[in-house]
Copies of this chain bind each other. A is one copy, B any other.
Amino acid sequence: MLLSINENGNHPIYLQIISQIKEQVGKGILQPGDELPSVREVADSLGINMHTVRNAYLKLRDQGIINLRLGRRARIVWRQPPVHTTDSEAELKVRLKELITDAFLMGLSLDDFHDLVNQQLAQLKMMK
């Protein structure tokens, strides 16, 4: 279980933890049933506050990624529920639209952006 936080940049720490764990689940590095390190362990190893880690774990539970039980370590849930509500899909579209807009305003061409997408997709496929 490898986690790191970027001191520079504006992303809140708890969001960085969330996206890293989600990424590892997406890539298959973390499999259903796998144990996550304890809140305290993560906090110590990253030199951050325990509340911050706990917050991240709570959010992951709310998103149906992990399972939290009192006194036991967090575990990746067995059945990844394909939530896929119309709400979450709409939000995804908004984020994608903003991403594309920003890419264009940065001077990237359509092809540049497509390349970027394929590059990231390839990276994920390889891991699987």
Interface residues of A (CB under 8 A from B): 7-10, 12-13, 19, 22-23, 25-26, 62-63, 65, 67-70, 77-84, 88-89, 91-93, 95-108, 110, 113-114, 116-117, 120-121, 123-125
Contact = CB atoms under 8 A, between A and B. Distances in A.
4 smallest beta-carbon distances between A and B, as pairs: A82-B107, A81-B107, A26-B101, A84-B107
Contacts of A91: 9
B116 A96 contact: yes
B102 A22 contact: yes
Main secondary structure on chain A at its contact with chain B?
A: helix
Q: What copy number does this chain have within its complex? A: 4
Contacts of A62: 62
A105 B22 contact: yes
Contacts of A9: 91
A116 B93 contact: yes
A84 B96 contact: no
14 contacts: A7-B78, A12-B70, A22-B101, A62-B62, A63-B105, A65-B105, A80-B107, A82-B107, A84-B107, A88-B106, A92-B102, A96-B116, A114-B117, A117-B117
